[in-house]
Amino acid sequence: MIHLERRPTPSRAWGAASPLLAVALTMVAGGLMFAALGKDPLEALRTIFWDPVLGEFAWYFRGQILVKAGPLILIAVGLALGFRAGVWNIGAEGQYIVGAICGAAAGLVFYPTDSVRIFPFMVVFGAFGGIAWAMIPALLKVRLGTNEILVSLMLVYVAENLLASAAVNWLRNPDAVGFPGSRNLARWDASANLELIEGTGIHWGVVAALIAVIFAHVMLTRHLMGFQVRLAGASPRAARFGGVNTGRLIVLCLGFSGMLAGMAGLFEVTGPAGQISIDFASGYGFTAIIVAFLGRLNPLGIVAAGLLMALTYVGGEAASANLGLPSAAISAFQGMLLFFLLAVDVLTNFRVRVGKGVAA
């Protein structure tokens, strides 16, 4: 008889090894999936993981990896703060969309003025949009005791409808006959899509992600707020006895994650996307959940996890173009990573026992 026995304390060895094991299992299962689709699994894995880093055109792909990793890291850092406090914001995708809409709208107000002061103004409004959208589940949670998981998730669909309305109605480019979408922000505002390294596409969103990682790491390890976050996540009852204002903590955690998600949306709409369109929603808000857990809810770990996930995006696009892999297979491959991580994480708190009965 095989059963699970709870460990007296979580295993540090399994806690450190589980992300690596989850990646290895994902590659094995992904290879089997690619083989079932009639593709060479080794070639598919080489195209996804090797070519973008060490292949012939790696110099270009490395920049694209950073561009993809920027919003993932930025959103995941905010989510990780809430997750560590037991605040489950699953609606970062909606905050990402609303931040992009608010930031783009703030910039389009000044059309056709071209000024370096417009872009900081757009960043502020993008952050404000994300915060405002995150405050809905936060205040409902604090005042009415609603479930922030359900509320934040349902608001994603509301945000997607706002995006469609903005693209075809109130932010639509009046000069684009028959085509939904806003004006291209980079074409008239030179400061909105400023490449930091020419030819790579790297923009201010990558810098913002790095700043967010440093800020979150310092706060969690050196600030009273970080101690309260860790305490609330480890033992909510002890946090209340310790004088932690749980309502304020919920608002702060959701507000912080909403702000970073909104900024990620703004950097995306002024960078790679260039405009508000119906298909602007990229799923970064959901993928960032995988990044947060793969990084062990640690800001420094999130950097490595974000780069790995960005590698699957860039390599997946190359595999779709060169090998004919369907995009759904790449999405399934990314999803496997989270499921394997959750499965392997069980061994952090439990050990496998073979025999009769269950230990006391």
Map residue 354 onto helix, strand or coil: strand
Q: How many domains does the chain have?
A: 1
Tell me the average pLDDT across 197-224: 88
| Paired strand residues for 4 | 352
Instruction: Indicate the burial class of 121 (C-beta count within 10 angstroms; 0-12, 13-18, 19 or more).
Output: middle
Residue 15 lies in a domain: no
Residue 191 lies in a domain: yes
Q: Which residue has the higher pLDDT, 331 or 102?
A: 102
Query: Which amino acid, 279?
Result: D
Confidence band of 112 (pLDDT split at 50, 70, 90): confident
pLDDT of residue 289: 93
Query: Which CATH number goes with the domain that contains 102?
Result: 1.10.3470
Residue 1 has pLDDT above 80, yes or no: no
Integer Cα distance of 256 and 81 in angstroms: 8
pLDDT of residue 342: 85
Q: For 231-263, how does the pLDDT look when each residue is reduced to its tens digit (9 = 90+)? A: 888 888 888 888 889 999 999 999 999 999 999
pLDDT of residue 357: 54
Average pLDDT, the chain: 88
- Domain around 286: 38-325
Residue 56 lies in a domain: yes
Q: For 345-359, how does the pLDDT look when each residue is reduced to its tens digit (9 = 90+)? A: 888 888 888 876 555
pLDDT of residue 243: 84
Pick the range with the lowest mean pLDDT from 116-130, 147-161, 316-330, 343-357: 343-357
> What does pTM read for this prediction?
0.90
Q: Which residue has the higher pLDDT, 97 or 335?
A: 97
pLDDT of residue 256: 96
Return the percentage of the chain with pLDDT > 90, whole number: 52
Residue 29 lies in a domain: no
Tokens 């090797």 correspond to what residue? Answer: 50
Residue 330 lies in a domain: no
End-to-end, the C-alpha distance of the chain in Å comes to 16
Tell me the average pLDDT across 59-85: 92
Pick the range with the lowest mean pLDDT from 95-104, 269-278, 287-296: 269-278
Map residue 355 onto helix, strand or coil: coil
Integer Cα distance of 320 and 86 in angstroms: 38
pLDDT of residue 198: 66
Tell me the average pLDDT across 93-101: 97
Residue 80 lies in a domain: yes
pLDDT of residue 193: 55
Q: For 35-60, how does the pLDDT look when each residue is reduced to its tens digit (9 = 90+)? A: 999 999 999 999 998 888 887 777 77
Residue 19 lies in a domain: no
pLDDT of residue 271: 84
| Paired strand residues for 5 | 351
Tell me the average pLDDT across 194-221: 85
Residue 187 has pLDDT above 80, yes or no: no
Q: For 299-331, how does the pLDDT look when each residue is reduced to its tens digit (9 = 90+)? A: 999 999 999 999 999 999 888 888 888 888 988
- At residue 51's C-alpha, the angle toward residues 45 and 55, to 5°, is 150
pLDDT of residue 257: 97
Residue 286 lies in a domain: yes
Tell me the average pLDDT across 65-85: 95
